[in-house]
């Protein structure tokens, strides 16, 4: 039986968990698919990890996939192996972005100064290694509040959310991770941004199964004359979101595979 006390208890728990001004980021996170086809963009949070990130990069390279890596400054600071991984990401055509310095909940930090430090120190540390601008940003836990919106606007940083979250970082289960992703992709009707974590062994194990399923699903779709699931390349998305006329400029002034993601990132709106 539902009681008044039970209802009040429920809402007290909800209010204790979420900031009063919290609200979700708009979806689809990367905008609509231009032609309505199913598209998937791979994004990875919380890295780099010298133990697992190289395996993720190897898998992406084998399948010619360019992803977005949302990096933590604390994993890079003073870590030569991690710095080399950032250089490899850029060299292989991936896009990198800021995920703060210490992965704090920016809406719950006691002072605004602490939130500012987490954003700015993350930016400075990553840029110090990568030597490129980082206009894309993802809040830890995906939190959103007036403070975050204002601080990002002041820094001309653009929040990049996600659509699919298997939460593999939390449960660590391979079957659950793969089942969720292929289930969502199987019924998707447009562009999907997938959130994964390159610091987790379960992610390394899940990626080959996910990519194999996409290949098999596309073979089935080809037989039935359906449009395939298209893997959206991160630099292509960045180019798509450039202000009108700057895409051609970026291509003209950029030389070399390593420079392209950085140049695109540095002029994103």
Residues belonging to the active site: 45, 197
- Contact partners, residue 125, CB within 8 Å, separation at least 6: 73, 74, 76, 77, 101
Cα(235)–Cα(113) distance, rounded to whole angstroms? 33
- Would you state the structure tokens that stand for residue 181, as one six-digit string? 């992703």
Long-range contacts of 253-259 (CB under 8 A, 24+ apart): 257/91, 257/92, 257/93, 258/90, 258/91
The CA radius of gyration of the chain, in Å to the nearest whole number, is 19
Asked if residues 195 and 67 have their Cβ atoms less than 8 Å apart, the reply is no
């Amino acid at each position: 039986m539902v009681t008044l006390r039970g209802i009040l208890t429920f809402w007290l728990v909800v209010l204790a968990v979420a900031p009063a001004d919290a609200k979700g980021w708009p979806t689809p996170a990367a905008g609509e698919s231009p032609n309505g086809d199913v598209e998937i963009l791979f994004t990875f949070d919380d890295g780099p990890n010298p133990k697992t990130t190289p395996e993720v990069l190897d898998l992406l390279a084998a399948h010619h996939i360019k992803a977005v890596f949302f990096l933590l400054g604390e994993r890079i600071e003073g870590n030569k192996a991690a710095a080399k991984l950032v250089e490899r990401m850029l060299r292989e055509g991936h896009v990198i972005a800021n995920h703060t310095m210490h992965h704090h909940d920016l809406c719950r930090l006691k002072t605004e100064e602490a939130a500012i430090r987490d954003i700015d120190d993350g930016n400075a540390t990553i840029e110090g290694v990568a030597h490129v601008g980082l206009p894309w940003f993802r809040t830890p836990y995906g939190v959103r509040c007036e403070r975050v919106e204002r601080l990002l606007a002041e820094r001309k940083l653009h929040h990049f959310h996600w659509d699919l979250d298997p939460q593999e970082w939390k449960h660590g289960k391979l079957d659950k991770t793969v089942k969720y992703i292929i289930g969502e992709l199987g019924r998707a009707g447009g562009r999907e941004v997938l959130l994964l974590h390159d610091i987790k062994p379960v992610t390394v194990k899940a990626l080959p199964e996910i990519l194999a399923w996409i290949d098999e699903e596309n073979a089935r779709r080809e037989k039935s004359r359906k449009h395939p699931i298209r893997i959206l390349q991160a630099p292509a998305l960045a180019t798509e979101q450039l202000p009108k006329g700057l895409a051609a400029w970026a291509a003209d002034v950029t030389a070399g595979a390593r420079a392209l993601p950085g140049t695109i990132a540095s002029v994103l709106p």
